[in-house]
Structure 1
Amino acid sequence: MSAVLPLRFRPALAGWRPLLNLSLLLSLSASPLFMSSSQAEESARRSYQVPAGSLSAALTRFAGLAGVNLSVDPALVSGRNSAGLAGEYAVEEGFARLLQGSGLQLQPVGDQAYILTPAPEGSSLQLAPTSIMGATSLAQGEPYAGGQVARRGSQGLLGARDFMETPFSMTTYTSEAVKNQQARTLGELIASDPSVRATNPAGGRFEQFTIRGFSLFNSDVAYNGLYGILPTYSIDMEMADRVDIIKGPTQLINGVSPRGSVGGGINVVPKRATDKPITSFTGSYASNNQLGGAVDVARRFGEDNKFGVRFNGVKQSGDTEWDHQSVDRDMAVLGLDFRGERLRLSTDIGRTERDTDAPQERVLVGANAQVPHASEVRRNYAQGWSKARTKDTFGTVNAQYDVNDSVMLYGGAGARKSNHDFLRHNVSISNDAGDFSVQPRDFTRDENVRTATAGVRNWFHTGPVSHEINLAASYFYMDFTNGGARYASSPSNLYDPVQTPTPSDPTRQDNRVYTENRSTGVALSDTLGFLDDRLLLTLGTRWQRIKVDDWTNNVKGATAYDEEKMSPSGGVLFKATDKLSLYANYMEGLSQGKIAPSTSINEDEIFPPFISRQVEVGAKYDAGALAVTAAVFRIKQPAYATDTTTRVFGPNGKRENTGVELSVFGEPLKGLRLLGGVMYIDSELTDTTDGAFDGNRAPATPKYNVNLGAEWDVPTVQGLTLTSRVIHSSSQYLDQSNTKEIDSWERLDVGARYAFKVDQKNITLRANIENVADKRYWSSAGASDDSEGGLTLATPRTYLLSATVDF
């Protein structure tokens, strides 16, 4: 479970008794959000203890303790600090003390309600406030200027922190960004991030990504900090309140991921009921004929709204842009939570089903074939009888409990049961004419997952040094059974597909393979604050044990292993100014070994775990309305490949990715929002067999990824916003020999949305066009560390329309 704190809570005295101002996801501030006039009079002066730190955190804490409402323009408080306070104060007196020297002042706007304004101008400022009821807005992940990115992100063992206090590269996308992009799956959302790329066709059996050039599978996407809970093959975005994307090895934060991703991690934060009731319906259309509807309903009940319930449901079905391809998907997720004075509880229960007819596969290129021409692929090369049927049922329980004012216990547990049924075929081009053999395979996979984590967090001081100690233990178990059958082959062609008969009589039954994965770990970290927390040093280590056993037709395999490793990590962050943070980190992680793909002759062979290491330095600049982050990194890990002659999959040397990232987000001018960046990677192979590929560029790794999105509120038409996004990736090699290459590509997306009211109902119309020019290109050559490579064909021009009504 990811314990979420909206501020850095560091009591300086043993007798200090402030109440933790925790996330709305799991919590309620200690004081009631609304107080009667008589209560306010009785507590006109009372004792407060608010630690020094960021002004945003100090104001949030004080508002929660005082039980008043405070509306703040995030740009006003961004980058400012407060000396805190200790003693008895009236509400306005306490605010004045916290604001001392900030150039801001408090302005009453009603009973127990205030806003902040610049001191000289008073109320002349035109505010676009974020309402804070105690800690509500900050706890939900206070949006940065522009609303597309949240200031805070969940960081597993380390809790939740503002991006300016985080010693590594991280971006948190908000639910507003999800809605405005009309992102139906995680693969569609990550199109905004230059460090992340999708490596599987949008109309394929599953989604897969790369972060900083290394593979990330859906299995490695966490759900509120727990691995293995979300659906294995595709994750619906209607369930997400926020999506955290962390760059670099994340073993210290959440432990070893099920598939061993090393380039980064993704965490999906579930939705919670807000104090304001939610009743929303969205009708949607996607070309060619995908119709759907989504509901979002939330309510809070009981004294101080302690109990919350939120339901999200989706039904979408119809034909896609590709001939004889259709997708039907259903999603239902129920979230319940309780937020007490010291105890916070939540549970999430979900069910998803996805049926895809004629899902596209990656295109494999044989040794005697050149790279096929994507521009000439105009029809779906997947057979009409091919299918992918997935069903996932999952649930989690999370808890936080304040033992006292400086110690918090937290824990979480989850489970998932999945059934997957595929009838598919590889697309392996054998010559320059694009010929391939359709070899049908019936493939079933049943999965069971159980996972849990528990920890304790303690805040204290040793003299002038503050500490945040975290101790956590984690457990992950997954078993899965693979089975199926093979059928007679038939010829087809990439450019002129031939529809073959539906397979009926198997020519061979596949072995039944049963595998058990167990991972246990214990992690300890300490974040030390020096110079009034302007210098933050995070040191930590995680002991991890990975145990894998497999059986083929009830015979235990010889490739099982049981290994353990102590992985140290550390990071340092220095707040050079109120607007500039400098940081560096070293992260080390143990990753589960690769599994030989179905395209190799040693299919399903399990390789031992391996170690990855990252060094990164960076800077973050927060101008209030616009943020710019930059990072230089280097990641090392073993390289794997399938020999083109022997077709044996296995380790072959090492790869080193050295890169530079630059990201930008915010609203530099009123009504103009930006989101994007650029990533450069120099990826080199070393220590390959007989030095054959030493010095070559690692396959499937473009030198440049560029993303730039912009939104513009048309000043002459209230409620109208125009959007655009440009995506670019440079050329990529398919193989370690660097003899086959795909071209660079660009994609242009445009859109518009219009928000208005009818009978006090908020209505938002959205229209997006992805790949406006309808370009056909290979968007990815797979991933160099992936056991299954192959070319990914870009999605043709796609129209997305939706209408959201908030009742």
Structure 2
Amino acid sequence: MVAVTTLFGMQAAFAQAGSPAVPDGVAVLPAVSVTATHDNDYRARSASVAGFDETPLQDTPASVSVVTRAQLDDQHAKLLSDVVRNDASVNNDYAPVGYYQGFTIRGFPIDLASAIKINGLTISGEQNVALENKDRVEILKGLAGIESGVVAPGGIINFVTKRPRNVASITTDVDSRGSTSAAVDLGRRFGDQSQFGLRINAAKENIHSYVDGADGRRTFGSIAADWIISPRASLQFDAEFQQLIQRSASGYQLLGGTAVPSAASASKLLGLQPWTKPVTTDALNLNTRFDYSFNDKWQGYIAASRSHTMIDDNVAFAYGCGYVPSCGAGGTSPFFFASNGDFDVYDYRSPGEYRRNDEVRAVLTGNFSTGWLQHDVTFGTSVQRRVVDLSNAVYDYVGSENIYGPNLTFDPSPNSPSASFPQLDSRQYSVFGTDRITFNDHWQVLAGGRGVLLRQRSWTEMDGPATDTDRSIFLPQVAVVYKPVAPLSFYASYSKALSLGDQAPVRASNAYAFLPPVVSNQVEVGAKYDWLDRLNLTAAVFAINKPFEYAKPDFTDAGYTFTQQGTERHQGIELSAAGRAADRLTLTASIAAIRARAYDSGTPAYEGHQVINVPRLSAALYADYAVPHVAGLDLLGGVNYSGSKAANEEGTASVPSYFVFNLGARYTTKLGGHKTVVRLSVDNLFNKYYWQDSGELQGDAYLFLGAPRTARLSLTYDF
């Protein structure tokens, strides 16, 4: 921070000191202090994802990354997969075109039922959350049991919405494949003291996918409202709706269960049929929050949310090779494509997939002293409910074709799906508390925990028997923070989390059964350094353990039983930087090295190697360079690297490593006296052919090719 005192202020100081430097009869003006900060658009100073309210990142004993609004704009981000490419610890995990996306954090798949949030409240993650009304995206890496209760061990992703302010802009966008979009951002504060605020975001997009036949369209609208009721009380409300209609693209599978397809086409829609309808996803997210300040030391809030998605899932699904003669060659499993590229096509129709997340949270924060110790405490309680209604879907074989051959046409199945019926009703009741104890300028201890009562009922068929789960557990978290000097902090932490058991795949002997909840634990040691109030540097070393869940080969008729046996352990190191590295250079960079192994699983072939879809090394870099002598022009660009990733549980097949380079520019000027920003980006500049994803869905492994070279051009005009 830089402070400048004016000459008039210096004269005033001399006058107050009785200095003769000020002649008699000369008027002395009051001191004026001008303050400026070395702010930059890619650096965040705080986040709410690692606690129950906004907390400085420097004081957070956890690994957190934040992708800011400026970076979202410069990268033309449309999907969460565009956002998380900025963090090397996050990877795609079954993220097909035209469908909601899955991800891993630190190598663990996130639970879409609990790991995706808006303004800190859980949403139904089976949606592609719109970005037009988001101010930033926060990523907490590692266990988040105290923040979220029942959640998978990888971490959580939190979208923070834009708040009302005086703004009016329109953005138009076009890409090299013909996709177009238009978005408007309108906000106003009004009232005699600007106590009311309103902000509206809306967007319309026509999608021309790089996968032939997987085009679609999207409509989005949101409203954010604020009311400063009094100096002590405030109320905010957010609502957003999105409809996405787009054909979904099936993934490739290993040939013969052992080989990655060679020369596969990124543009071919496997199993394309003229009678297949697009997937339709309607998503509604609502949340509200009331804040009240009791006094200067104690504040509290009550927040509530409802999120639901309704999906009509329609796809000619490419899966396995059980109906073709070539399938048995060489002992090929029917759960993979045949060794010559043959695969089966299924008519899959699952209308009325309804998922709803509700949450209510009450939090009290305050600070007090006990002797020479300073306490910053948080207490709260929350109730969450998750409801899932599904139908008995049509999933019928209709024909077979080859990945290298032409598209063939088959007749659809004559069968119809059933009506939707409840398949899951899960409720969580929690109480939590934390105490950050400050001993002096150098030492802090954070201790706390969450008590969770989980009650869950699940069904696998209409009018069938229910499976009940009743589990209570205390999830502790403790951390020590040491600050030898103000800009530098070291921390060590331990935490536990409870996560829901996975659902057994259709090929298992216990198909569709939900396994019981599992407990994970994590140890993390890290350091954070704020270099010259310009660049945040962080490092973290971690170890996470959870029970290993997998389809275990056995002698049942199905050949597999989905089970929990042994331990899956991920150990790694993360390094990151965000901020202004030089006067004209702003960047974000991260690198992650992860060792992910299974132990004591009872299946030796699944041990002793990296688990599926987790690269040993990955890295991400994005930079903004302000061109000298050309006012308003910035060059943008970056690179993403992923090491090779296992493509099956045995580790006998893998997708190769890759580099993907991106380049762009931003030009800021004025048209008619109004700010205008033109952005150009070229992703995958060298048209790299690569497999971006070798993840699993319900125990089956799929491969997805990365997008080819794509250019995007946008214009934002403030009016």
The alignment's TM-score, normalised by the length of structure 2, stands at: 0.89
Out of 525, 528, 537, the position equivalent to 1:617 is: 525
Partner of 1:480: 388
Partner amino acid, structure 1, of 2:485:
T
What are the equivalent positions in structure 2 for 1:366-405 lying under 5 Å apart?
A: 368-373=257-262, 376-384=265-273, 385-405=276-296
Partner amino acid, structure 2, of 1:485:
V
Partner of 1:427: 319
Seen in structure 2, the aligned counterparts of structure 1 residues 176 and 690 have a Cα distance that, compared at 3 Å, is closer
Partner amino acid, structure 2, of 1:308:
G
CA distance in 2, matches of 1:376, 1:525: 52
Greater share of helix: 1
Partner of 1:55: none
What are the equivalent positions in structure 2 for 1:579-598 lying under 5 Å apart?
A: 579-598=487-506
What are the equivalent positions in structure 2 for 1:34-45 lying under 5 Å apart?
A: none
Seen in structure 2, the aligned counterparts of structure 1 residues 473 and 158 have a Cα distance that, compared at 3 Å, is same
CA distance in 2, matches of 1:581, 1:779: 35
Partner amino acid, structure 2, of 1:115:
V
Seen in structure 2, the aligned counterparts of structure 1 residues 554 and 488 have a Cα distance that, compared at 3 Å, is closer
Seen in structure 2, the aligned counterparts of structure 1 residues 508 and 307 have a Cα distance that, compared at 3 Å, is closer
The answer to which of 490-499 and 343-352 deviates more is: 490-499
Question: SS of the residue aligned with 2:619?
Answer: strand
Partner of 1:503: 412
Out of 62, 68, 74, the position equivalent to 1:174 is: 68
Partner amino acid, structure 2, of 1:317:
N
Seen in structure 2, the aligned counterparts of structure 1 residues 478 and 327 have a Cα distance that, compared at 3 Å, is same
Tell me, yes or no, if the aligned pair for 1:520 and 1:544 is still in contact at 8 Å: yes
Out of 44, 47, 54, the position equivalent to 1:160 is: 54
Match status 1:200 vs 2:94: yes
CA distance in 2, matches of 1:685, 1:308: 52
Partner of 2:687: 774
Match status 1:304 vs 2:215: no
Partner of 2:130: 236
CA distance in 1, matches of 2:132, 2:265: 35
Structure 1 residue 195 displacement after superposition: 1.0
Seen in structure 2, the aligned counterparts of structure 1 residues 281 and 732 have a Cα distance that, compared at 3 Å, is same
Question: SS of the residue aligned with 2:573?
Answer: strand
Partner of 1:286: 175
Structure 1 residue 513 displacement after superposition: 5.1
Partner of 2:610: 697
Partner amino acid, structure 2, of 1:415:
R
The answer to which of 381-390 and 327-336 deviates more is: 381-390
Partner of 1:329: 218
Match status 1:245 vs 2:152: no
Tell me, yes or no, if the aligned pair for 1:560 and 1:606 is still in contact at 8 Å: no
CA distance in 2, matches of 1:680, 1:762: 42
Seen in structure 2, the aligned counterparts of structure 1 residues 206 and 502 have a Cα distance that, compared at 3 Å, is farther
Out of 291, 297, 306, the position equivalent to 1:415 is: 306
Tell me, yes or no, if the aligned pair for 1:486 and 1:506 is still in contact at 8 Å: no
Partner of 2:438: 529
Structure 1 residue 327 displacement after superposition: 2.1
Partner of 2:159: 268
Partner amino acid, structure 2, of 1:409:
G
Partner of 1:313: 202
What are the equivalent positions in structure 2 for 1:786-797 lying under 5 Å apart?
A: 787-797=699-709
What are the equivalent positions in structure 2 for 1:583-662 lying under 5 Å apart?
A: 583-598=491-506, 600=508, 602-623=510-531, 624-643=533-552, 646-662=559-575
Seen in structure 2, the aligned counterparts of structure 1 residues 451 and 733 have a Cα distance that, compared at 3 Å, is same
Out of 470, 487, 508, the position equivalent to 1:562 is: 470
Tell me, yes or no, if the aligned pair for 2:459 and 2:466 is still in contact at 8 Å: no
Structure 1 residue 501 displacement after superposition: 3.8
What are the equivalent positions in structure 2 for 1:662-701 lying under 5 Å apart?
A: 662-689=575-602, 691-701=604-614
Partner of 1:212: 106
Tell me, yes or no, if the aligned pair for 2:505 and 2:698 is still in contact at 8 Å: no
CA distance in 2, matches of 1:196, 1:145: 26
Note the alpha carbon deviations across 1:505-525, whole angstroms, 9 max, x for none.
128769955221111111111
Tell me, yes or no, if the aligned pair for 1:157 and 1:254 is still in contact at 8 Å: no
Percent identity reads 27
The answer to which of 609-618 and 425-434 deviates more is: 425-434
Partner of 1:801: 713
Tell me, yes or no, if the aligned pair for 2:359 and 2:384 is still in contact at 8 Å: yes
Structure 1 residue 588 displacement after superposition: 0.7
Out of 60, 73, 77, the position equivalent to 1:183 is: 77
Question: SS of the residue aligned with 1:708?
Answer: strand
Partner of 1:225: 120
Seen in structure 2, the aligned counterparts of structure 1 residues 799 and 603 have a Cα distance that, compared at 3 Å, is farther
Tell me, yes or no, if the aligned pair for 2:258 and 2:652 is still in contact at 8 Å: no
Partner amino acid, structure 2, of 1:806:
D
Seen in structure 2, the aligned counterparts of structure 1 residues 568 and 787 have a Cα distance that, compared at 3 Å, is farther
Partner amino acid, structure 2, of 1:796:
P
CA distance in 2, matches of 1:595, 1:410: 36
Question: SS of the residue aligned with 1:440?
Answer: strand
CA distance in 2, matches of 1:558, 1:478: 16
Partner amino acid, structure 2, of 1:588:
K
Structure 1 residue 386 displacement after superposition: 5.0
Partner amino acid, structure 2, of 1:766:
R
Note the alpha carbon deviations across 1:466-505, whole angstroms, 9 max, x for none.
1011111111112121112233421122233524246251
Partner amino acid, structure 1, of 2:156:
G
Structure 1 residue 465 displacement after superposition: 1.0
CA distance in 2, matches of 1:411, 1:511: 34
Structure 1 residue 254 displacement after superposition: 2.6
The answer to which of 512-521 and 445-454 deviates more is: 512-521
Structure 1 residue 112 displacement after superposition: 10
CA distance in 1, matches of 2:401, 2:553: 22
Question: SS of the residue aligned with 1:192?
Answer: coil
Partner amino acid, structure 2, of 1:704:
L
Question: SS of the residue aligned with 1:766?
Answer: strand
The alignment's TM-score, normalised by the length of structure 1, stands at: 0.79
Structure 1 residue 196 displacement after superposition: 0.8
Partner of 1:24: none
Question: SS of the residue aligned with 2:415?
Answer: coil
CA RMSD of aligned residues (A): 2.5
Tell me, yes or no, if the aligned pair for 1:377 and 1:494 is still in contact at 8 Å: no
CA distance in 2, matches of 1:309, 1:735: 50
Q: How many residues align?
A: 671
Match status 1:746 vs 2:659: yes
Tell me, yes or no, if the aligned pair for 2:680 and 2:712 is still in contact at 8 Å: yes
Tell me, yes or no, if the aligned pair for 2:122 and 2:358 is still in contact at 8 Å: no
Seen in structure 2, the aligned counterparts of structure 1 residues 519 and 789 have a Cα distance that, compared at 3 Å, is farther
Seen in structure 2, the aligned counterparts of structure 1 residues 261 and 300 have a Cα distance that, compared at 3 Å, is same
Out of 409, 416, 438, the position equivalent to 2:345 is: 438
Tell me, yes or no, if the aligned pair for 1:370 and 1:431 is still in contact at 8 Å: no
CA distance in 2, matches of 1:171, 1:582: 17
Question: SS of the residue aligned with 1:576?
Answer: strand
Question: SS of the residue aligned with 1:237?
Answer: coil
Structure 1 residue 540 displacement after superposition: 0.6
Partner of 1:360: 249
Seen in structure 2, the aligned counterparts of structure 1 residues 371 and 733 have a Cα distance that, compared at 3 Å, is same
Tell me, yes or no, if the aligned pair for 2:648 and 2:701 is still in contact at 8 Å: no
Question: SS of the residue aligned with 1:696?
Answer: coil
Structure 1 residue 404 displacement after superposition: 2.0
Out of 330, 343, 351, the position equivalent to 2:233 is: 343
Unaligned runs of 5+ in 1: 1-71, 78-91, 97-109, 117-128, 131-143
